[in-house]
Structure 1
Amino acid sequence: MKKITTTIILLFISAYMLQNLQVLYGLTFYVIPSIIWIIMFVTFIATNSAHDIFEQKEYANVISFMLLAGLIPWYAAGIYFGFGFNLLAVMLFQYIVYIVYRISYVISLEVLRNIFIKKMSYLWINQRFLLLVSLATTLLSVSLSKLEGLEIKDIPELMVLFSQNLILTIIAWRYGFKAQLFFSIPYTTMIKLVPIMPDLTGVIRWLLLVFISLLQASIFYVYNVVERKTSIGIDQVTGSFYKAKISKFVNIVNKILLIGAIIFMVGFFVGYRAIVVASNSMQPTLSRGDIVVININDLDANKGDVIVFIVGNKMIIHRVIASYQRNGEQMYITQGDANDAPDPWVLKKENIVGKQVFTIPHMGYPSLLFSGIFESPVTGIGVTITFILGLFIIYILRDVVTVFE
């Protein structure tokens, strides 16, 4: 059996190395590795009992919900942003070859994942080992993407890919090989193989994948951990006094965040927006890092009002020091409280974004930190969400291992 396992691993490595060494060109680049991976899969099936490979476990509901959690947001984004034609599907024969190549690769990767988990589970299995298996499969996936001309350069994209592999590793350990295929093949088809795909830009695409991974991980957690804790008794799982205290603290934080989210959403719908002060031009009234809440429905500015307006492509917060009529149109002169002279422009009403309602001191510094590190706030927010996703999935992994030990 050890020789068979070694053979399967060597088959995968040989197909992988052929591509990395770039010995194969044209169709052979896809066809020969596909054949090797299919042989690897057949060898795996032939040398393992059907009971071990396709053992029936109660996974259908949770895996189905996880797939729907990917499918619905993915195509909802397509409805919003529009759809495009998958370039791989331009030529039918090439498209069929790529489908065989991609699915054979996914199956072989799941065979490899299954072998690693199965071999080590006889000795020991813990959170670190599952993370290691996920990291190994992630690195293989990154190399494959590079070979296909889809090089993954950004850390957020890498973290999303790692999170997806971590979810697959947990599924493999918890439910077995059949569940792996039931999840990975439809998911790969959705992301890579369908002829019509959502037309998404890079940042929007990986932010959507972050959301999908977080949603899938949450479904898995609720189905496998929360339900399990309820059935066996929470004290058996959490154990100690300190964990109970931490759990209570987390619940309080969650309630505060929920209330904050509700207030934010209500404010957003009635026309309130939050702007972070980026300079000290309004001191002492406003300091750098303050959050100014404005009303975008109140654009009738008077002398003395603090307003947010747009000049060029910049958003500025200054005070109205004078206003006058010109050709029947209201014009505004502004100045920063810390500046010695008025601003070198005259504003029209259409330049005004909103008028100050109240200020939250110093709470906007994290946003300024993001804008200093990342190219755009969206990228910074995306990196943060992705980092939280990684921590959340690692927490799930720890909890799942604890519950089922």
Structure 2
Amino acid sequence: MTLTATSLHPVTLLHPDGTTTVADLGEAPAFERPSTPLRSRVAYAAAHVIPKPWADNVPGAPADIDWEATLAFRRHLWSWGLGVADAMDTAQRNMGLDAAATRELIARSAAEARAAGGSIVAGVNTDHVDERVIPLDSVIDAYKQQLHFTEDAGAGVVLMASRHLARAAQTPGDYERVYREVLEAAAAPVVLHWLGTAFDPELEGYFGDADTVLRIIEAAGDRVAGIKLSLLDAEAEVALRARLPHGVRMFTGDDFNYAGLIAGDGERHSDALLGAFAALAPSASAAIQALDAGSPEAFSAILEPTQALSRQVFAAPTYFYKTGVAFLAWLNGHQEAFSMVGGLHAARSLPHLSEIVRLAAACGALEHPELAARRWRGLLAVNGVES
């Protein structure tokens, strides 16, 4: 790419074959924070955690989190009118975030939400249990322990898919029994979570099929507020959405196809609970503000271009998408170092990150292009790539 006289933030892009080109990051779009709550869609951004850059956040070590920066990032999301979905897989559950750090994250984020007037839900799982295989009764008890802790902290509940349950369940009836007993213990309606194998290969065969999920929801009555579907299958989401009981929301977790699913088909739409929205808060907010103003065309014009970026961030192996979310947070000035708990910042290659830079500039996802350019040039220099 040839730079013009108007180029303001030139950067080098690195390709998989080692060649380079030069591009300009342009200017940030002039999105404005909402002055009133978003109305037409419910939208949660699944937030990541920010480690202390000088701490021993190596693979296998307990997470040492920069709480000031982590909570400031949540305030950033709330300032754009989004809710925060915390302690989910974006926060590196089962990929660096240990049980003690998970509990502290939920408690701190829930307290911050109360202070900021922000909406928060948090993941409930069984992952504090050290044993790999446990019986169904123990799965139920483990779920209840986290459920009560999260409710006592003041966060809404997202009942996450459990690896322990995936190993222990032999029939659809096993899933129905576990969810029935856990939901009966809930003090308020919860959101279920169906996580596909692209995000966690250990969840192969979870639930079995959509019929099992529907039986669980129907048996729970008003104890299920919605379900987050993270199968990366838009047709499956639309089909299940059409079968949900009245009042049960579909929260899309499809980071490949969210724009059309949130827009809907004229009769039904999906709300959002997305890791992608943590990286795209201004764009996500501006798009929903456009819907609130009665402009679906503006909604599409803002949000559809971001999907190319999201598909790169969530490219296979998809469970390493957290690296792209943290990378964009670093480029946008929300953390001082490109580092992650468990050393996960090393999970993506420089050419992969370079493509994120290009696509983020193309869709307006760089909040401070000058800062992003400076940081990207520095990362390339450290890795021996001349700008």
Query: What TM-score do the two structures reach when normalised by structure 1?
Result: 0.20
Higher helix share: 1
Higher relative contact order (CA 8 A, sep 6+): 2
Higher-Rg member (1/2):
1
Query: What TM-score do the two structures reach when normalised by structure 2?
Result: 0.21
